[in-house]
A and B are shown apart, each in its own frame.
Chain A
Amino acid sequence: MSGRVLVGVKRVIDYAVKIRVKPDNSSVVTDGVKHSMNPFCEIAVEEAVKMKEKKFIKEVVVVSCGPQQAQETIRTALAMGADRGIHVDVTGKDYDNLGPLQVSKIMAALAKKEEAQLVILGKQAIDDDCNQTGQMTAALLDWPQGTFASEVTLEGDKMKVVREIDGGLETIKINTPAVITADLRLNTPRYATLPNIMKAKKKKIDKVKPADLGVDITSRLEVLRVDEPPHREAGVKLETVADLVDKLKEAGTI
C-alpha cells in the first residue's frame, strides 16, 4: 500500500458570481470573472488532508487539468495541506472541450502511475453539473466506487462509505483501491491561512501533458448553444376574484 491519495480539483467560476451568457450564445463569460476551486473539490481535499492528519495515509497528491491558472487552484489545495501537485496542461480549444470522459482518462492514468490507493473527487462540478468523472474513473480503473459520500471510514484494506441517496443514507463496504466522490456533508473544508499559503509556495507542482500520460483528449461532444433561463415575467395585480377567474380563463389554465 503506497498510502498515497490522488485528489482531483477543478477550477470553476466562483459560486457567488452571477453567470452571464456571451452575446453569441457560445458559452458563458469567463474573462475577468472570479474563479475558485469547485466547492465539492474543496470537500474532497479536506477529506484527504484529514486522513493524512489521522495517519491513515501518507501523501496527498492534488491534480488539476487546465491552463496555467489551474496552478492557482492546486496552490489552494496545497495550502489546505496537500503535499504536492500535478498540473495537467490543457489549453485553448482542448480546454474548452475538456469533459468528464477526458478527465477520467487522465485521472485513471495518473492513479496507475502514482500507485494511488484512493482517488477522491468532488461529486460534480458546479459549472457543468455532470456528476460523471468519479464514476468513469472507477470504471476505467475497474475499481469500486463510493459516490455521494457523506462519511468515509477506512477499515483495514476495505472502506465503509455512507452514501447520500434519494431514500436516505446507504452504507456500503468496498475494497481498496477505490474511487470516492465527496458530497456536501462529508466535512467542512478548512480555510487556507496565510502561513500555510506561504508554506504552499515551496511545495512542488509537476507539469505534464495528456500525451505524456498516453491519453487522447479528443471530445466526442459539441456544444451547440448556451441560453439563459427564460426571464421571469412581471406579475399582474388583480382587484377581485372575478378578475382572477377571467385572467385564468384567458391564459387557458381553467
Chain B
Amino acid sequence: MLLGLKASRRLLSHRHCFQQYRSIKSENTARSAPLDSVLSAFRSICGEDGVSLGEAVKEQHGKDESMHRCCPPDVVLFPRCVEEVSALAKICNHHHLPIIPFGTGTGLEGGVCAVKGGVCFSLRNMEQVLELHPEDFDVTVEPGVTRKALNTYLRDTGLWFPVDPGADASLCGMAATSASGTNAVRYGTMRENVLNLEVVLADGTVLHTAGKGRRPRKTAAGYNLTNLFVGSEGTLGIITKTTLRLYGIPESMVSAVCSFPSVQAAVDSTVQILQAGVPIARIEFLDDVMIDACNRFSSLSYPVTPTLFLEFHGSERSLEEQVHTAEDITQSNGGSDFQWAKDAETRNRLWKARHDAWYAALALRPGCKAYATDVCVPLSRLPQIIVETKEDLIENRLTGPIAGHVGDGNFHCLMVVEPNDPAELRRVHLFTERLARRALAMDGTCTGEHGVGLGKRALLCEEIGPEAVRVMQGLKDTLDTKNLMNPGKILQPREQ
C-alpha cells in the first residue's frame, strides 16, 4: 500500500540516491533507468510486500557483523520459494543486475556488502524445516532456518546439528561460508556435514548438487559439486535448501578448565589429548591477555596465564575416562588448577570466561570496535605462530587478546581498535596482513572459518597460487558468465 500511494515520491528520492551512488561507486552498470520496469517485474513475482526500497531495509541488508562499511543494495527482495528465487534471478540476469544472497547478516568478512549495488535476495521468508529423517540422521532446511531454530525443532528427537559458529546464523548461510565452530574438532565443519544443496544459479537454473532429494551418507558419484558451493560465499549461486548431517545429542557433558605456564605447554597438552584418542568435543585456548580481560569483565579470578577450556561429550562412564586421561596429560605438561564440572549451572560458570570473550575484549577499551583475525595452521606450528604474533602485538602497541580453537590449529586475535583513528586502523590492517603471511609461511591458511569475503582476496591469491586462482576463475566464469553473483567477493576483479 505504502509503495503504491507514494510511489512517485519514493522513486524520485530513490533516483536522488542513485545520483549519490553514482559519484561514490566507480562501476555503474545500467541501474537507474531500467530499474523502474524491473521493480514491477519483481513485484509481480514476489508481491508488493516482497520488494523493498526502504532506506532502513536496504542499510540493514548491506552490512554484516564485520567492520566493512555498509554498502546497501538498490533493492531488497523477499522471495517465498525456490520458484520465485529462480524467476527473480532470471530477471536480474536479463538486466545485468548484481545478485547478493542474504541469510542472517551475521558474517564477519563483508560478504553481503553490495559493492556494486544490485539486488539483495533476503531469504528469511523461506523458513521451513522440510524433511527430517531421524533414523537416517539427516534433515533438509530452507535458508530462513537458523542453527538454534533447527536444534529447537529437533529437541524431541534426540538429535542435534553441532556446528556452532557462535552466532545464530542461517544454516544455508553457514553452508555458503563453510562455517565452523568450537566443536569442529569432534563434529567437523560445514564441509563435512552438508550432504546436498539446492542452488539457484545466476541464470535462474535450479541445481541439486547431489541430485534431487538424495541423502546417502557417502557417495562417489561424479564431481563433488556440493562442496564446490560450500564456501562459495554467494559467488556461484543462491543456496535455497541444504541437507545436513545430524548427530545424537550427547548423553552427558563435562566441562573443564586448566591453566598452563606457557603457550607451548597448552598446545602440547592439546596435541597429546588428541593423540591419546580422547574424543574431545571442544578445546579452546585463551591467552593471558584474554584471561585478564575475562577476569575483569566477568569478575572471575583465573590465573593470568595461558588457559585451556575443555568440553567432553559421551556416556557417564566414557566421560570419567576422558576427563581422567585429559587431566593426567595436562598435569604432565605443567598444567595446574584443573577444575571440572558436570551439572549445567557449574559448567556454564566454568565456561563463562570463554563465552564472554568477545565482550570482555571490547570492554578493555570502551567505545572501540573489534575485528577478529582467523588464521589456521598445522597444530605443530601453533605455539610458534602464537608466540610470534604476541611479540608483534606488543611491538606495535596493539590490543589483541587471543582466543583459539586449538584442536584445529585455528586462533583469533580479537583486535580492539578505535574506529575513528586512521593511523591505528592502518597499523591493525598491516598487522593482520603480517599475521596472515606468517600463517601461510607455516603451511596454513589466512582464513580457517570466516571466509575470504572482501578483505582477504589478495591473500587468497598468495595462499592458493596463480594456477588454482585460474581454475577458480574458470569455474566462476562457467557458472556465472556475467559476474552477477555477489561481485567483488573471493576473487579479485580481473581488470586489476
Asked whether A36 lies within 8 Å of B344 as measured between CB atoms, the reply is no
Shortest Cβ distance from A15 into B: residue: B152
Q: From B111-119, B154-162, B275-283, give the one contacting chain A.
A: B154-162
- Flag whether A188 is at the interface (Cβ < 8 A): yes
Closest chain-A Cβ to B70's Cβ sits at a distance in Å of 22
Asked whether B1 lies within 8 Å of A197 as measured between CB atoms, the reply is no
Asked whether B149 lies within 8 Å of A193 as measured between CB atoms, the reply is no
Instruction: Identify the interface centre among B6, B249, B250: most chain A CB within 10 Å of its CB.
Output: B249
A161 to B134, CA, bound (A): 40
Q: Given B1, B157, B315, which contacts A195 in the complex, CB threshold below 8 Å?
A: B315
The verdict on A194 contacting B1 (CB below 8 Å), with A16-B153, A76-B156 known, is no
The verdict on A37 contacting B156 (CB below 8 Å), with A195-B315, A234-B1 known, is yes
A49 to B157, CA, bound (A): 19
The verdict on A192 contacting B248 (CB below 8 Å), with A16-B149, A234-B1, A234-B2 known, is no
Give a binary string over B341-365; 1 marks a CB under 8 Å from any A CB, 0 the rest: 0001000000000000000000000
- Flag whether A196 is at the interface (Cβ < 8 A): yes
Instruction: Identify the interface centre among B6, B153, B155, B160: most chain A CB within 10 Å of its CB.
Output: B155
Asked whether B159 lies within 8 Å of A34 as measured between CB atoms, the reply is no
CB contacts (< 8 Å) of A95 on chain B: these are none
Shortest Cβ distance from A188 into B: residue: B344
Within 8 A of A (CB), among B132-153: 149, 152-153
Asked whether B155 lies within 8 Å of A192 as measured between CB atoms, the reply is yes
The verdict on A191 contacting B248 (CB below 8 Å), with A234-B1, A234-B2 known, is no
- Flag whether B467 is at the interface (Cβ < 8 A): no
The verdict on A191 contacting B249 (CB below 8 Å), with A16-B152, A37-B156, A79-B158 known, is yes
CB contacts (< 8 Å) of A76 on chain B: these are 156
Shortest Cβ distance from B1 into A: residue: A234
Shortest Cβ distance from B149 into A: residue: A16
Closest chain-A Cβ to B174's Cβ sits at a distance in Å of 19
Asked whether B153 lies within 8 Å of A191 as measured between CB atoms, the reply is no
Q: Given A37, A188, A195, A236, which contacts B251 in the complex, CB threshold below 8 Å?
A: A195
Asked whether A36 lies within 8 Å of B156 as measured between CB atoms, the reply is yes
CB contacts (< 8 Å) of B155 on chain A: these are 36, 191-192
Give a binary string over B287-325; 1 marks a CB under 8 Å from any A CB, 0 the rest: 000000000000000000000000000010000000000
Secondary structure at chain B's binding surface: helix, strand, loop or mixed?
mixed
Q: Given A192, A193, A237, which contacts B250 in the complex, CB threshold below 8 Å?
A: A193
CB contacts (< 8 Å) of A191 on chain B: these are 155, 158, 160, 249
Asked whether A196 lies within 8 Å of B156 as measured between CB atoms, the reply is no
CB contacts (< 8 Å) of A36 on chain B: these are 155-156
Interface residues on B, range: 10 to 19
Shortest Cβ distance from B250 into A: residue: A193
Closest chain-A Cβ to B124's Cβ sits at a distance in Å of 13
Q: Given A16, A192, A195, which contacts B156 in the complex, CB threshold below 8 Å?
A: A192
A181 to B262, CA, bound (A): 52
CB contacts (< 8 Å) of A194 on chain B: these are 158-159, 248-249
A197 to B149, CA, bound (A): 21
CB contacts (< 8 Å) of A197 on chain B: these are 157-158
Shortest Cβ distance from A192 into B: residue: B158
Instruction: Identify the interface centre among B152, B158, B250, B344: most chain A CB within 10 Å of its CB.
Output: B158
Shortest Cβ distance from B156 into A: residue: A76
Asked whether B158 lies within 8 Å of A34 as measured between CB atoms, the reply is no
CB contacts (< 8 Å) of B248 on chain A: these are 193-195
Within 8 A of B (CB), among A179-225: 188, 191-197
Asked whether B156 lies within 8 Å of A193 as measured between CB atoms, the reply is no
A234 to B4, CA, bound (A): 12
A195 to B153, CA, bound (A): 19
A156 to B286, CA, bound (A): 47
Give a binary string over B1-16; 1 marks a CB under 8 Å from any A CB, 0 the rest: 1100010000000000
The verdict on A196 contacting B344 (CB below 8 Å), with A76-B156, A79-B158, A191-B155 known, is no
Give a binary string over A1-35; 1 marks a CB under 8 Å from any B CB, 0 the rest: 00000000000001010000000000000000010
Shortest Cβ distance from B5 into A: residue: A236
Asked whether B153 lies within 8 Å of A193 as measured between CB atoms, the reply is no
Shortest Cβ distance from A233 into B: residue: B1
Closest chain-A Cβ to B490's Cβ sits at a distance in Å of 34
Asked whether A193 lies within 8 Å of B158 as measured between CB atoms, the reply is yes
A36 to B152, CA, bound (A): 11
Asked whether B153 lies within 8 Å of A196 as measured between CB atoms, the reply is no
A14 to B153, CA, bound (A): 9
CB contacts (< 8 Å) of B153 on chain A: these are 14, 16, 34
CB contacts (< 8 Å) of A16 on chain B: these are 149, 152-153
The verdict on A196 contacting B2 (CB below 8 Å), with A16-B152, A188-B344 known, is no
CB contacts (< 8 Å) of A195 on chain B: these are 248, 251, 315
Asked whether A196 lies within 8 Å of B251 as measured between CB atoms, the reply is yes
CB contacts (< 8 Å) of B315 on chain A: these are 195
A19 to B202, CA, bound (A): 35
Within 8 A of B (CB), among A145-193: 188, 191-193
A37 to B155, CA, bound (A): 11
A234 to B155, CA, bound (A): 37
A98 to B31, CA, bound (A): 60
Within 8 A of B (CB), among A82-134: none
Closest chain-B Cβ to A137's Cβ sits at a distance in Å of 26
CB contacts (< 8 Å) of A237 on chain B: these are 2, 6
CB contacts (< 8 Å) of A34 on chain B: these are 153
CB contacts (< 8 Å) of B6 on chain A: these are 237
Shortest Cβ distance from A76 into B: residue: B156
The 9 tightest CB contacts between A and B, nearest first, are: A194-B248, A194-B158, A197-B158, A193-B249, A193-B251, A191-B249, A76-B156, A192-B158, A234-B2
Residues of chain A whose beta carbon lies under 8 Å from any beta carbon of chain B = 14, 16, 34, 36-37, 76, 79, 188, 191-197, 234-237
- List, sorted by A's number, 6 A–B pairs whose CB atoms are closer than 8 Å: A16-B153, A34-B153, A76-B156, A192-B155, A192-B157, A193-B249
With contacts A192-B156, A197-B157 known, what are 7 further pairs, Cβ within 8 A?
Answer: A16-B149, A76-B156, A79-B158, A192-B158, A193-B251, A194-B159, A235-B2
